[in-house]
Every structure is written in structure tokens, then in C-alpha cells.
Amino acid sequence: MIHTLEADTTILPNIILRFPAMHRSILLTLALSLALGSVPRVAANDDALVPDNVARQAHPATADVQKAAAAFAQGKHEEALQQFIEIHNRHPDLSPGELLFAQIAFQAKQVGVAKVALEKAAVTQADDPETWNMLAALALADGRLAETEMLFQRGLTAAEQYTANDQRKTAQAIQAHAGLATVYEKRSQWNSAKENLRDWISLDPRDTKPWPRLAVAFFKLGQESTARETLQNLRSFSPNADPVDVAMGKLYQSVGRRQDATDAMQTALETDRENLIAQVEIARYAMDAGEQDLMRRAIDQAVSLDGDQPAVRYLQGMAARFDRDSVSAVDIFSQLHREDPSNFEASNGLILSLLSSEESDQHPLALKHAEVLYQSNTNVKTGRGRVAASSYAWALLKNNDLANAEAVMTSVVKTRVLSAEIGYFAAEIFAAVGKQDLSRTVLKATLASPQSFVDRPAAERLMSRLDS
């Protein structure tokens, strides 16, 4: 079965960096950020995990850490490891040397070296909670939930018994609770998830990350009023959090309660009229749900608040795509791309707008942009990777390269996690290469999805052709 989902399902431990190479200057900076107070964390649900550097002030160990990191960068691993161990002995407020070494090795994509260091830490640093939390993060990345749970539980026990440094004690206890909550969320064990999220909040009430997850747990347990109160509590100290009705709308949407979701967003449209973030989120919801009137009203309100914001202009570009106004869409996305070539959504919007143009001379330009986007986002296990690959495959098809279009799109379909738009692209490509049955299977799932997408009329026409 092909699931029409947009969420990114890849979970990476915070010790793995998503860059192709490690330059020595980057490595030195990384070593300092890790040693001087990096707090590993488990991200909310399926967000990719990244370090939270909470202590950037100068530290007496700075020069020594630079020296150890330089030795690692030069391939002198034993020397670097020994230096990190000695640094920790002199500065026990830092992570143990084996763990610093392992984190840097993972960042440098020397996985084997890092795992050897972690195995050593499991013996020499068995009382340090960070040892077990790092091992748990690796197990989580591999989807080994039972092992993950046991390791985070051991990390939590170690954190409770740890007395060397209060800041590290709290940070590692939070990491363990966050990791356990992630395990229980994945298993839909919402009571257990709730308890760990509450414990996380008790350790750091102003941390914004656990609050939305706690609201989800209450919602899944049928406690909608408590979920709303939780979101209200978050807004009381974090004004940048989603407005309550917007957040509740997303929760209703997540369980298929479309009318309740739309009603919540309609309420937010009026109660949060002066909140630009709210209007943007409402427009995005409405775009996905096919609520065209709500989408346009939210976009108009967002434009009145700050029409120069890239997020607002992106929505205007998407509205132009829905209106089949490829000229306006190309103009909007081209300008956004020129201003920020790294803007993923702008780049993808430009590609798809160019491919929708009736002027076929636009298609080679779209292919060039699509190839760049694809080469920068090659992991199809991530949401962006799937979007980039599908847009590249679509551009290949439009430029009559059917063989490569099929090969690229097949890699996306094998993930079995497709948005409705990607499903349509896949169906067109498979039909073009004569795989009618596969095309029909993918297209059936696509059209059954509640997701709205620009080419739904074309998808319906394709289904009529396949059934004729």
C-alpha cells in the first residue's frame, strides 16, 4: 500500500551531520560546540535531530579542545582520543573524552571509528548517562525501538544517579525523557509518552519543544480540552508558537476530522487576524485541504500584514499555480529564487511552474534547476529528498528522458511515502513507459487522498484514460 503522507519519517541521531564533507575549520568549531555544552536531544516526532548548543561562552579548555580536534582532523585518532580523555579529567563539567571523540567521528562520517569509541565508553563511562543516550539515539535511528527504550531507560537511571555536574545531569535526563517519549509516540502508547513529556517539562518548563507533543498526547487520549489548555500554556510564554486554534486545527487534520479542522482554522482566521504566522499556517492548511476560499482569504490577510515576506509571496505563487497562471507563478518563484537560491520551496515552485508553462522552451531550464535541487537533496527517505527527486523525474519526463525519469521516480515510490502531487507525477511517468497497472495503482491511492494538489484535474483525466 502506498501512503499519501508528507511528513518526513527519517530520524537521525544528533551526532550525525547532514553535510557531504568535513573541513578542518568546521571540525574545530564543532569540537568546541560539543565540548563546551552541547546538549543532545531527541527532536519532536520525526524532525531530524541536531545539536542544541547551549553554552557558547569561552571555556578554559578551549585551546586544548582545538588541539585535540586538530589531531583528529589529521587522522591521529589515538592521540586525539587520549587528549579528549585528559581534557575531561581536567574539566569534568565537559562530556567524557570517549564521547566527545565519538561525536566528532560521527560528524566526520567515520562511523566505524565512532562506534568503537562508544563501545569503549560503555565500559569506561558506564556511569555517565550520555553514553547510554548516545547509544539509544543510534538504535532509534535504526528503528530498533525495544533496544532504544532499554538504553534510554538506562540513561535515565544513570542521570538520576549522576552527581558530577548539575547542568549535565539535567540535560541528560531531558534527553532520556525526550527519547522515551519518542518511542512511546511511535508505538501510540500515549499515556507513557505523556508522563515522559511531563517529566521533561518539569525539568525545563520554558523549553518549547515538549509542549506541543504533550498536547498531541492529550488529544490522542481523547482529552481535547486538556490539549487546548496545554497549547494555551505554551502560548503564554512563547508568542511565536502556533495560535491555539491553528494548532487544534492541525490536530483535527491529523486524524481526518476535516470539518473540525476547517472550523478551527476559520475561527483562527478571525481571532488571529493580526498574526502573520497564523494567516500563513491557515493558508497552508487550506491549500492542502482544497479549501480554496479560505486559502485566498488567508493569503489576502497575510499580504495586508506583510506582503514582502517570502512565506507570503510563496503562497501567492502557489495560488497562481492553482489558478493555472504559470506566468505569474514563474515570476514570483523566480524572484524568490534570485533572492535566496537556497530556499527549497521557492526552487521547487519555480521548477514546477516552468514545467507547467505552455512554452516548451521553459522545460530545459526547469530541468537544470531540478537537477541542482536533486543533487542537493539526494536522500529520498526525507521529505525534501522525495520532493526533489520527484520534481527531477517530472522534469526528465517533460524533456523526453523517459528512462531516467522512471529510474528516479522508482526510487521515490519504493519509500512508500508519497504526497498526492508526487503520486500523480509517478502515475504519469509509469503510464508513459507502458506500466499501466503500476500507474493505475499509484493513481488510485493518489486520488483517494484528501490532499489537494494543483494537477488533480489532470490526474482525474489520466485515470479516465487508464480505465478506458
Q: Tell me: the pLDDT tens digits for 361-382?
A: 899 999 999 999 999 999 999 9
Alpha-carbon torsion angle 324, 329, 331, 336, nearest 10: 180
Interval 76-89 mean pLDDT: 91
pLDDT for 19 equals 26
Within a domain: 83: no
Contact 351, 391 (CB under 8 A): yes
pLDDT at 22 over 80: no
Same domain (yes/no): 381, 329: yes
SS3 content of the chain, % helix, strand, coil (to 5): 70, 0, 30
Within a domain: 48: no
Same domain (yes/no): 454, 391: no
Same domain (yes/no): 265, 309: yes
| Domain span at 254 | 242-315
Within a domain: 424: yes
pLDDT for 333 equals 97
Contact 172, 155 (CB under 8 A): yes
Within a domain: 164: no
pLDDT for 172 equals 94
pLDDT at 57 over 70: no
pLDDT at 151 over 70: yes
Q: Report residue 347 CA to chain centroid gap.
A: 18
pLDDT for 58 equals 63
CATH number of the structural domain spanning residue 288: 1.25.40.10
Within a domain: 456: yes
Within a domain: 77: no
The predicted-structure confidence for 414-458, as pLDDT tens digits, reads as follows 999 899 999 999 999 999 999 999 999 999 999 998 889 999 999
pLDDT at 2 over 70: no
pTM listed for this prediction:
0.76
Residues 6+ apart with CB under 8 A from 286: 262, 265, 292, 294, 295, 298
pLDDT for 16 equals 28
Same domain (yes/no): 339, 395: yes
Interval 387-403 mean pLDDT: 97
Within a domain: 214: no
User: Letter for the amino acid at 310?
Assistant: P
Same domain (yes/no): 265, 297: yes
